[in-house]
Amino acid sequence: MAKKAIGIDVGGTGIKAALVDIKRGALLSERIRIATPEGGEPEDIAKACQGILEDLGVNVRNFPVGVCFPAVVKHGFTQSAANVSKRWIGLNADELFETNLGRHAHVINDADAAGVAEIKFGAGQNSHGLTIMTTLGTGIGTALFYNGVLIPNAELGHLEIEGVDYETKAAYSAMERENLSFESWAERLQKYYSALERLLVPDLFIVGGGISKQHEKFLPLLNLKTPIVPATTKNSAGIIGAAALAYASGTN
């Protein structure tokens, strides 16, 4: 019988969820998406997640739930808040979701969850040494893995380069905002990934985020010593990674 868990991916504008086969890293249900409640208040998001479980159906009643979230998460407490209410800061998020969902729940940073999906089921399988997962979107999310083991809450999107928080220059949102060509954007990405190389000397970069579907337009423009490859789990990465971690935490 397949090992199963539910993954919920909470973002500033949308919440996505599905039932996941933990052994294969595959969705076992339709991926449901709803809008994130306006204001992103803790109680409203928890209630919305409860509604998603109802939409998934009675067959998911007893499975653990993993929730990936746009925040630093330490021992189940959210320590920051991106595009959601500041009331999340310092909140026991594990307890909030367990109370509202009536089952074991495990909350994790969204970039870490996406990285777990790639390490277990995607481009990072069988990787050795230091792997850095980066997600290029509104900001730059990062996840670090050493020999496949997660080092949580790496906030390397906020590296200061040329006197600025460089995700404001190199995130995909900056490309859109400034109407940059892929060539101009790649020059900024070159500075960012070169800085990571100097500081951490990684063995592999994995690039995720929606724009990774067009990786052939910018990754070949980068000149790095480290191999850099696109993510393969795409828009389901957060759901899959969150579910896998919830299952692992619930069986330990």
CATH of the domain at 224: 3.30.420.40
> What's the pLDDT score for residue 13?
85
C-alpha distance from residue 92 to each of 15, 16, 96, 106 (Å): 20, 21, 6, 11
| pLDDT number for residue 251 | 62
Residues 86 and 17 in one domain: yes
Q: 133 and 45, same structural domain? A: no
Provide the pLDDT for residue 234. Answer: 83
Domain assignment present for residue 117? The answer is: no
Query: What size, in residues, is the chain?
Result: 252
Cα dihedral angle (3, 20, 210, 169), rounded to 10 degrees?
-60
- Inside any domain, residue 118: no
Do 171 and 242 belong together in one domain?
Answer: no
| Residues 242 and 213 grouped into a single domain | no
Total domains, the chain: 2
pLDDT at 39 (0 to 100):
94
Please tell me whether residues 134 and 226 are part of one structural domain.
yes
Residue 90 in domain:
yes
Q: Is there a domain that residue 167 lies in?
A: yes
What's the domain range around 199? Answer: 123-232
Point out which residues pair with 108 in neighbouring strands: 68
Does residue 114 lie within any of the structural domains?
no
**Would you state the pLDDT for residue 59?**
66
Please tell me whether residue 89 adopts helix, strand or coil conformation.
coil
For residues 211 and 214, give the distance between their C-alpha atoms in angstroms, rounded to a whole number.
6
Q: Give the residues of the chain that fall short of pLDDT 50.
A: 1
